């Protein structure tokens, strides 16, 4: 019956757009693949074809994340806004989202800089992108260290984001996770 609305659904904001939901899950798959490629390469000897292929896929998928994050940001900018976060959990969530977006932009650029500074080609699905900096081994090492450190931060942020979604779903029961699932409208 229409008059029997649960407390959680009364306060549940509308679902995200199909584009936002699709991009969210596509980015998750891409990020998992980016991390998997770079972690799995360690199981293969240096110089082996499989290790090199995993590194190449890491670069190409990372650059795909960079391209698609801009589509997400445009879609987000065109979506209705809920207003500024008012509570500390909302502020924390906004900060984590901002950090995730920042990493989805910064990490691919840093990776591109590493390849450029190493004098390596920058592969992107059959294309070779132009270098961002001139070859410089010292710069390559410093940027690679920063890239690795920020990627570790990214692991933690994705974990915090996932834990928060589960907290909302199982403890708060406020519909936050359901709003981001495909098919929920």
Could you tell me the fold of the domain covering 15-79+88-179?
Fumarate Reductase Cytochrome B subunit (1.20.950)
Least confident of 18-27, 40-49, 110-119: 18-27
Confidence of residue 184 (pLDDT cuts 50, 70, 90): low
| DSSP calls for 108-124 | HHHHHHHHHHTT--EEE
Angle 51-64-126 (CA atoms, 0-180°, nearest 5)? 65
The residue whose two tokens read 């001139």 is 134
Residue closest to 126 by CA, chosen among 49, 54, 59? 59
Sorted by where each begins, the domain ranges of the chain are: 15-79+88-179
SS3 of residue 38 by DSSP: helix
Beta-sheet pairing, 127-129 with 122-124: antiparallel
Given a cut of 80, whether residue 12 has pLDDT beyond it is: no
Query: Which tens digits make up the pLDDT trace of 123-148?
Result: 999 999 999 999 999 999 999 999 99
pLDDT higher for 7 or 56?
56
Residue-wise pLDDT tens digits, 144-165:
999 999 999 999 999 999 999 9
């Amino acid at each position: 019956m229409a008059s029997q609305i649960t407390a959680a659904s009364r306060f549940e904001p509308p679902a995200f757009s199909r584009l936002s939901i699709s991009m969210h899950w596509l980015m998750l798959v891409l990020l998992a693949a980016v991390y998997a490629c770079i972690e799995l390469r360690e199981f293969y000897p240096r110089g082996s074809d499989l290790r090199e292929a995993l590194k190449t896929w890491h670069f190409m998928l990372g650059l795909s994340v960079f391209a698609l994050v801009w589509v997400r940001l445009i879609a987000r900018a065109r979506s209705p806004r809920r207003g500024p976060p008012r509570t500390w959990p909302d502020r924390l969530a906004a900060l984590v989202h901002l950090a995730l977006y920042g990493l989805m932009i910064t990490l691919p650029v840093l990776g591109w800089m590493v390849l450029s500074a190493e004098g390596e080609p920058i592969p992107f699905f059959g294309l070779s992108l132009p270098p961002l900096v001139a070859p410089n081994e010292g710069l390559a090492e410093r940027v690679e260290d920063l890239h690795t450190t920020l990627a570790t931060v990214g692991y933690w942020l994705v974990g915090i984001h996932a834990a928060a979604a589960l907290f909302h779903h199982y403890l708060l029961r406020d519909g936050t996770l359901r709003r981001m699932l495909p098919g929920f409208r």
